[in-house]
């Protein structure tokens, strides 16, 4: 029986771990990120993969940094045949990749060589792609640069966000991995080198990238809102306060107003002028220190002084 060390952290990784267990692979250990303090109350939360591993009775390792750690020595002592990673969240050192006899595979949420890096789904949506996908690839020293065994495309609809796409991709990735893994282990499926001329990158989202630029078109801002949801959430500012923007609609309207100008307040929508004379309707937002709420509730409460003609996105926070 093939002995595997599985490395993953978010919900995306869970179906893949479960699939390997159900298919009968011997999961010797699960490696995941340490428990983290989350939210305003700083509640300590374990990763979804840790919870699932404990439920399945699998031992868990949680290195703060895998390179040079005691946990890396423990992985070596397990003498795995294979390492499988799926959104682990740390760069794996070459010394670790050399431990398993059959190497290391990654389930990557993109159609490589496009979108190498830690935020491939975010950038696929932000850039308005019609599809993304999953790649089963060899892990090498260079980030996401290994040769690819198999890929499967998945459409991105206008309603999708990062959360819905990660759910779709996790199940597609699970099924694709389980389909090709026996062939990889048997040596009957060969990998294909990535075309370096076609490489694009999707690095982790920086805080300044969460800010909405109202000079962009309504369509581009819609893509950004969906590409930042449910984390980290795009935001704008209004009179010194931060509004996290959860839901918007692109309108078939034109305006001569300056981008960022509130041009209309209707039941359920706050219309804002965008670049190229386009108009976006904010439908759900989260003011600083408040819960997420529909615009109607916001305008009847904390936002009752918001008025047509005022500007959003003008403040430095």
As separate numbers, helices (DSSP H) first and strands (DSSP E) second, the chain gives 8, 15
- Paired strand residues for 153: 133
- Residue 113 annotated in ligand binding: yes
Q: Are 137 and 83 within 8 A, CB to CB?
A: no
Task: Look at the block and give the residue holding tokens 């374990």.
Answer: 46
Q: Are 45 and 5 within 8 A, CB to CB?
A: no
The beta-strand segments (E) located in 76-139 are: 82-86, 104-108, 131-138
- Residue 232 annotated in ligand binding: no
Q: Are 147 and 138 within 8 A, CB to CB?
A: yes
Say how far apart CA 84 and CA 138 lie, in whole Å: 10
**Residue 266: how many CB atoms within 10 A of its CB?**
11
Let me know if 267 is exposed, middle or buried by CB neighbors in 10 A (0-12, 13-18, 19+).
exposed
Alpha carbon separation from 7 to 33, 38, 212 (Å, rounded)? 9, 21, 34
Task: Look at the block and give the residue holding tokens 């993304």.
Answer: 132
Say how far apart CA 1 and CA 28 lie, in whole Å: 11
Say how far apart CA 217 and CA 193 lie, in whole Å: 37
Nearest to 7 by CA among 90, 81, 112: 90
- Residue 189 annotated in ligand binding: no
- Residue 110 annotated in ligand binding: yes
Let me know if 277 is exposed, middle or buried by CB neighbors in 10 A (0-12, 13-18, 19+).
middle
Cite the annotated binding site for (6S)-5,6,7,8-tetrahydrofolate by residue number: 110-113
Cite the annotated binding site by residue number: 110-113
């Amino acid at each position: 029986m093939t002995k595997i060390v599985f490395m993953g952290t978010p919900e995306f990784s869970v179906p893949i771990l479960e699939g390997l267990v159900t298919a009968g692979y011997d999961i010797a250990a699960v490696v995941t990120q340490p428990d983290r303090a989350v939210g305003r109350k700083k509640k300590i939360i374990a990763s979804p993969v840790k919870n699932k591993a404990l439920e399945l009775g699998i031992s868990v390792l949680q290195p703060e940094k895998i390179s040079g750690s005691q946990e890396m020595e423990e992985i070596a002592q397990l003498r795995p045949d294979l390492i499988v990673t799926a959104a682990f969240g740390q760069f794996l050192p070459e010394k670790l990749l050399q431990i398993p006899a059959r190497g290391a595979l990654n389930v990557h949420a993109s159609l490589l060589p496009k979108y190498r890096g830690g935020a491939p789904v975010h950038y696929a949506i932000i850039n308005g792609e019609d599809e993304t996908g999953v790649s089963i690839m060899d892990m090498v020293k260079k980030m996401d640069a290994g040769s690819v065994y198999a890929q499967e495309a998945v459409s991105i609809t206008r309603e999708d966000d990062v959360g819905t796409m990660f759910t779709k991709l996790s199940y597609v990735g699970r099924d694709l991995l389980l389909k090709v893994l026996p062939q990889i282990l048997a040596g009957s499926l060969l990998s294909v080198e990535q075309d370096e001329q076609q490489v694009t990158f999707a690095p982790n989202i920086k805080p300044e990238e969460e800010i909405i630029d109202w000079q962009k078109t309504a369509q581009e801002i819609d893509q950004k809102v969906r590409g930042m949801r449910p984390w980290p959430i795009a935001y704008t500012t209004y009179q010194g306060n931060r509004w996290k923007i959860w839901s918007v609609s692109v309108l078939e309207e034109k305006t001569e107003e300056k981008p960022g100008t509130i041009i209309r307040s209707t039941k359920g929508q706050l219309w804002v002028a965008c670049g190229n004379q386009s108009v976006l309707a904010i439908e759900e937002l989260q003011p600083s220190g408040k819960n997420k709420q529909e615009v109607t509730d916001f305008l009847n409460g904390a936002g009752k002084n918001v008025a047509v003609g005022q500007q959003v996105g003008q403040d430095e926070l």
